[in-house]
A and B are shown apart, each in its own frame.
Chain A
């Protein structure tokens, strides 16, 4: 009986990771984009496009790697569209991003329904995809009681997401190309005056960031076992990612922590009742909490963080100074 209760906890921790790593991809991608000074509200649509193409191409070629690359490439293409409009054509970033979401979801359903009308690829028929998404235990660490299976026995995309987040943290904060990127986001005029190619940097990192989001979308598709229905795979995760960027203070390493915090509430929504059953004394009250509260919490917390940081105007905020503003050289 006691073991069973621990099992519930292990499953809970495992689920926090499995169901929420796509948030990490979306968040890290958006951090990279925002650090270049662009506020891209198209995360939801970009993830959707990455998801549908990554999944379909990945299945047809029966290759996990090609799936990942396709998702990345399609995400980057959406980024190219965003960059062309906002960097070269000086279009408003809010409007372009929101339209990218509408457009991306349109593409998702259009392509998905068109494929479904012919023959939908079922994930179970494609061995490489199915096995590529199965759990790989990290030797040693995964044997730690309770935590081991929860934290160190996951599919390769979980590890990839964590690695990307750590690399981006290092890259942004400890390397000179990362410094140049941040300079562009803070003050493109000054960056330009010291010989940094602002346009090229913006294009490059918008595409890189959007590509990372695309992989997150692919993950969502695989996590839904590739079953295509009337609800989009991304299901609002793109918007939570936009919120998480603020919560993580534009820091990719903090984004890992933030993913687990937001993921904790998200998982309580799904498995709160099983915790309540396993620990009726201590956690019985969980069953009474409305699921919508868990869904709203990421946004409520982020709103509080937003207000608190603007009240304190504290040093060390990661908010890029020229976020959302287009750079027009002649107006420098």
Chain B
């Protein structure tokens, strides 16, 4: 008896949801078994993790503010990446584009922050970051369109070029280097928190950062853009088959360039939000969102609405594991990375069963049903 694999025609939504839910539960169970083996009560650990240490915490509002600081760049970056991925353009250069955006935003804040009103500075920071990141991204798209350069490897290389530019700026004391504190002997990034910071809307003690609202607004716009506009439709056609798109009279190259530029611009915006909230550059400014965003976009099946849910959960995993490490000293916060990996592996497995069915091959090579 042998088996072979055939494609499924369609899978109802409820069934899909069940498969994914099962995958996540299985991942949590595996993680739980590991915790159990270490002599830690998994339920206690998970409840600490998913409440992010906020229960019974007097400054829980502060913790929630910090959680949102993790959530905003991740959600926005994931949405941005999903645009390119929908077109099968493998932009894994989120890290590099984010860094370029962050440097541009910090430049505006440091150079103009003290002479302009806060609102103007913030808008200019966003625009500069979007332009810098957008150009860094569209450069690769142009190479891809013109010469067929492999974009996966190219964006990967440019991540490290950007990273070392940032490291250089953070390390080299010089007259021209306005990114560093002039008075400090050791190289320390200059803070601009007092001249350029996104305002908070105070709800009692809890300060809701404007970036959070803007992120949801951008998400809504992108959702509509992809679903109801001609350009959004073009993206999905190019993603299905560039040949078909070309045959239908679409200007494939223009669509690729435009979409990658937009994708990278949004990553730049995420960087501006991050920098405008942190008030200072750092060599770890990306917090790995360029990488994690790829995983989030994929876990969400590139669906804009789902991306917000998944990034909320993944941020919870990361923020919560640090909070939980405080009370469970035996469990390192790297547990979150492991768990995130296992979740994705199992979701990819679930994906397989959604896209394909396993069919028993009868003797004589005939199928036991087809399609």
User: Do they bind each other?
Assistant: yes
Partner of B152, one of A100, A117, A313, A324: A324
Mask of B283-295 contacts with A, CB within 8 angstroms, 1/0: 0000000011011
Partner of B295, one of A99, A107, A302: A99
Task: List CB contacts (< 8 Å) of A70-108 with chain B.
Answer: 81, 85, 89-92, 94-96, 98-108
Docked CA distance A92–B297 (Å): 13
Mask of B38-56 contacts with A, CB within 8 angstroms, 1/0: 1000000000000000000
Q: Please, which residue of chain B has its CB at the minimum distance from the CB of A300? A: B161
Pair A114/B5 contact, Cβ less than 8 Å: no
Pair A295/B344 contact, Cβ less than 8 Å: no
Q: Does A144 contact B (CB under 8 A)?
A: no
Q: Please, which residue of chain A has its CB at the minimum distance from the CB of B6? A: A330
Partner of B165, one of A99, A101, A296: A296
Q: Does B345 contact A (CB under 8 A)?
A: yes
Docked CA distance A52–B72 (Å): 34
Q: Does A122 contact B (CB under 8 A)?
A: no
B contacts with A, residue count (CB < 8 A): 52
Q: Does A293 contact B (CB under 8 A)?
A: yes
A259 to chain B, nearest CB (A): 18
Q: Does A160 contact B (CB under 8 A)?
A: no
A220 to chain B, nearest CB (A): 18
Pair B334/A306 contact, Cβ less than 8 Å: no
Pair B164/A292 contact, Cβ less than 8 Å: yes
Pair A39/B345 contact, Cβ less than 8 Å: no
Pair B348/A95 contact, Cβ less than 8 Å: yes
Q: A157 — which chain B residues lie within 8 A by C-beta?
A: none
Q: With A92-B298, A102-B341, A106-B336 as known contacts, state yes or no: A239 contacts B160, CB within 8 Å.
A: yes
Docked CA distance A91–B339 (Å): 18
Pair B356/A90 contact, Cβ less than 8 Å: yes
Q: Does A110 contact B (CB under 8 A)?
A: yes
Q: Does B156 contact A (CB under 8 A)?
A: yes
Pair B161/A106 contact, Cβ less than 8 Å: no
A11 to chain B, nearest CB (A): 25
Pair A103/B342 contact, Cβ less than 8 Å: yes
Pair B345/A99 contact, Cβ less than 8 Å: yes
Mask of A296-314 contacts with B, CB within 8 angstroms, 1/0: 1001101100110011010
Residue contacts A-B, CB under 8 angstroms, 10 given: A39-B152, A85-B348, A92-B348, A94-B92, A94-B294, A98-B92, A98-B294, A102-B340, A103-B340, A306-B157
Q: Which 9 A-B pairs have the closest CB atoms?
A: A103-B341, A106-B337, A109-B334, A106-B338, A296-B164, A89-B352, A91-B348, A292-B168, A310-B149
